[in-house]
């Protein structure tokens, strides 16, 4: 209800001063606008920082927490685990991860994820910092690949991450030979790389091994470089004796490979990524000169070839010139219808330059020797001059044999047979075989000797001996008297000795004293032994005060 005003009551009240009107937009309405702008900007910022949602599967979610575990690359956070689920078959866990914006192009099928947590391995301890901060997921971006959103995490951290510079190569080996992942790669005994992986070839015919060689050492790997296994200890025994090879203690534990480039291959191009090399069993196998030229000959032996193995050396005056290629039975031309050992050898002219003719030796040029040019012809010439092959014992210890070829001018003349599959070098018997033959000869001579005459002589000798015995028999009574006397004297001497040795006697009492001393010594020894048994530390510290 409004009451009519009575202005008269307030007439003395002064007027307020009227201000000039300020017209315009009320400034206060800028506030909601600002709030809207700021809020919108915040929203936009967080939304725009949100990158793709991806899933990564691991076997277990050990150390991973929803909403907290982070995905890092070079220790910079690039994502966060949102949710941890099981896969449908419950065989693995599936992590939903929100990556930061801008990571899309690095999320490809070649990108890798693994959990970084403290690990202790043969190569050392890693991930210690995560003891305090908790595990995180490492991410290795790789933009070369097909984009994808679902990944399978690695259970173990990769040996070689993308931030290591270097080159990867593939090695092929007959067998793995104690190589393990992470095992070192040596170059002049420098540890400069690692074994990254290995697997059987699809057809199981070889082992495929991946190695990583760090920069700048990777430029020492040429296409002509040799790799060999240095894992463990290699002990070999062959015709050249026993060998013991070991690279380092580390390689003894975890295996490893080494490489080297022979000087003559230094001008081959530097090997590119994923070049395939052969992994040799050991250094000597790897560094054997590559043999491209061989001349095959056949040898037929009379005796046994036990102790000769395929791969055994063929030597000329102690210098290796070839290799035994095969050992088999074959027709023996000496004895019709009987088989004998047939040894096929490869002569390898490139093994040594000494095969050149003498007059070329000083010229210093690598000209092909006559042997290299036409080995068969050259060998045929030499056979005429007495070239023969024979088996020799390489090592008396192992009984390994090797093939020796040499010039034996005294040998019965022979020609090289060229009518077979391979030309045949004539052989001589083994030195041992030679000795056996001589003994046989001696025995044969003995067999023919005059045994009857010898036996008659022997008979006569026996008769005269028995006559001598009869004459001796006559002197026996005299001798027995003398013997009795001697025995009596001995008896007396024994009695005296017995008297003095009894307890009353001189020697006896001394002996008793000695025995007492001895038993006292034995007692104290026992006491000491018992004390030591109870207090073994007394050996070091001495007998402490009780």
Partner 1 sequence: MRAIDAGLASCHTCGLLLHLPTAGHTHCPRCSSPMHLRKPASLSQTWAFLLAAMIAYLPANLYPVMTVVSFGKSQSDTILSGVIYLFVHGDWPLALIVFVASVLVPLLKMLALLYLLITVQRKSTRYRQQRTRLYRVVELVGRWSMVDIFVVALLAALVNVGTVATIEPGAGAIAFSAVVILTMFSAMNFDPRLIWDYQGEQ
Window of 39-47, 261-269, 352-360, 467-475 that interacts with partner 1 by CB under 8 A: 39-47
The CA distance from 58 to 45, in Å, is 31
Using CB under 8 A as the binding rule, whether residue 8 contacts partner 1 is answered as no
Using CB under 8 A as the binding rule, whether residue 132 contacts partner 1 is answered as yes
Query: For partner 1, which residue of 24, 25, 29, 463 counts as binding (CB under 8 A)?
Result: 29
Using CB under 8 A as the binding rule, whether residue 36 contacts partner 1 is answered as yes
The CA distance from 251 to 313, in Å, is 30
Site for partner 1 in 64-103 (CB under 8 A): 68
Using CB under 8 A as the binding rule, whether residue 48 contacts partner 1 is answered as no
Query: For partner 1, which residue of 24, 38, 59, 440 counts as binding (CB under 8 A)?
Result: 38
CB of 20 to partner 1, least distance (A): 8
The two three-digit tokens of residue 305, written as one number: 């070839």
The CA distance from 405 to 321, in Å, is 9
Which of 349, 341, 340, 409 minimizes the C-alpha distance to 379? 349
Window of 130-138, 258-266, 269-277, 476-484 that interacts with partner 1 by CB under 8 A: 130-138
Which of 127, 137, 147 minimizes the C-alpha distance to 94? 137
Window of 31-39, 331-339, 375-383, 420-428 that interacts with partner 1 by CB under 8 A: 31-39
Contacts of 260 by beta carbon, 8 Å cutoff, 6+ apart:
187, 188, 225, 226, 283, 286, 287
Q: How many CB atoms lie within 10 A of CB 223?
A: 13
Of 42 and 511, CB closest to partner 1: 42
Of 18 and 396, CB closest to partner 1: 18
Site for partner 1 in 319-378 (CB under 8 A): none
CB of 291 to partner 1, least distance (A): 60
CB of 61 to partner 1, least distance (A): 16
In this structure, are residues 166 and 216 in contact, taking their beta carbons and an 8 Å threshold? no
Tokens 């909601």 belong to: 32
Using CB under 8 A as the binding rule, whether residue 16 contacts partner 1 is answered as yes
Give the chain's radius of gyration (CA, Å): 49
Using CB under 8 A as the binding rule, whether residue 164 contacts partner 1 is answered as no
Number of residues that bind partner 1 (CB under 8 A): 35
CB of 32 to partner 1, least distance (A): 4
Tokens 């002996």 belong to: 511
Of 123 and 134, CB closest to partner 1: 134
Could you give the residue ranges of the DSSP H alpha helices within 134-178?
none
The two three-digit tokens of residue 237, written as one number: 């025994």
CB of 141 to partner 1, least distance (A): 21
Q: Report the largest interatomic distance among the alpha carbons of the chain, rounded to a whole angstrom.
A: 197
Cis peptide upstream of residue 216 (ω within 30 degrees of 0): yes
Sites of contact with partner 1 (CB under 8 A): 1-3, 5-7, 10, 13-22, 26, 28-29, 31-32, 34-36, 38-39, 42-43, 46, 68, 129, 132-134
């Amino acid at each position: 209800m409004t009451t009519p005003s009575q202005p008269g009551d307030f007439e003395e009240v002064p007027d307020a001063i009227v201000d000039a009107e300020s017209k315009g937009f009320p400034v206060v309405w800028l506030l909601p606008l600002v709030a809207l702008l700021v809020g919108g900007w915040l929203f936009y910022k967080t939304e725009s920082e949100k990158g793709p949602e991806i899933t990564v599967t691991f076997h277990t979610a050990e150390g991973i927490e929803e909403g907290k575990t982070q995905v890092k690359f070079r220790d910079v956070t690039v994502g966060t685990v949102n949710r941890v689920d099981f896969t449908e078959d419950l065989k693995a866990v599936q992590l939903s991860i929100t990556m930061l914006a801008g990571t899309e192009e690095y999320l490809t099928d070649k990108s890798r994820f693994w959990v970084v947590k403290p690990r202790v391995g043969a190569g050392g301890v890693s991930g210690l910092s995560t003891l305090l901060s908790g595990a995180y997921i490492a991410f290795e971006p790789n933009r070369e690949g097909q984009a994808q959103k679902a990944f399978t995490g690695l259970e173990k951290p990769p040996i070689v991450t993308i931030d290591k510079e270097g080159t990867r190569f593939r090695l092929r080996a007959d067998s793995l030979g104690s190589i393990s992942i992470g095992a070192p790669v040596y170059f002049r005994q420098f540890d400069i790389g690692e074994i990254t992986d290995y697997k059987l070839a699809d057809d199981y015919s070889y082992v495929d091994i991946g190695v990583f060689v760090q920069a700048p050492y990777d430029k020492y790997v040429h296409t002509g470089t040799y790799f060999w296994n240095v894992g463990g200890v290699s002990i070999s025994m062959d015709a050249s004796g026993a060998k013991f090879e070991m690279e380092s203690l580390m390689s003894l534990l975890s295996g490893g490979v080494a490489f080297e480039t022979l000087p003559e291959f230094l001008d081959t191009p530097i090997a590119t990524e994923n070049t395939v090399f052969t992994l040799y069993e050991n250094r000597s196998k790897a560094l054997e000169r590559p043999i491209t030229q061989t001349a095959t000959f056949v040898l037929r032996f009379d005796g046994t070839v036990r102790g000769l193995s395929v791969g055994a050396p063929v030597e000329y005056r102690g210098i290796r010139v070839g290799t035994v290629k095969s050992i088999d039975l074959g027709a023996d031309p000496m004895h019709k219808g009987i088989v004998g050992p047939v040894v096929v050898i490869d002569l390898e002219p490139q093994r040594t330059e000494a095969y050149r003719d003498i007059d070329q030796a000083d010229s210093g040029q690598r000209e092909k020797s006559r042997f290299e040019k036409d080995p068969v012809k050259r060998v045929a010439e030499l056979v005429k001059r007495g070239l023969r092959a024979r088996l020799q014992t390489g090592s008396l210890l192992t009984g390994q044999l090797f093939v020796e070829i040499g010039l034996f001018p005294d040998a019965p003349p022979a020609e090289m047979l060229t009518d077979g599959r391979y030309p045949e070098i004539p052989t001589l018997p083994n030195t041992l075989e030679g000795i056996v033959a001589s003994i046989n000869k001696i025995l044969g001579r003995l067999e023919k000797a005059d045994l009857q005459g010898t036996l008659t002589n022997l008979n006569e000798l026996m008769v005269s001996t028995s006559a001598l015995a009869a004459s001796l028999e006559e002197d026996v009574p005299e001798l027995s008297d003398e013997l009795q006397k001697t025995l009596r004297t001995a008896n007396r001497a024994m009695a005296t000795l017995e008297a003095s040795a009894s307890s009353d006697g001189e020697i006896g009492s001394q002996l008793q004293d000695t025995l007492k001393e001895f038993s006292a010594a034995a007692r104290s020894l026992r006491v000491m032994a018992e004390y030591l048994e109870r207090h073994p530390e007394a050996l070091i510290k001495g007998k402490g005060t009780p």
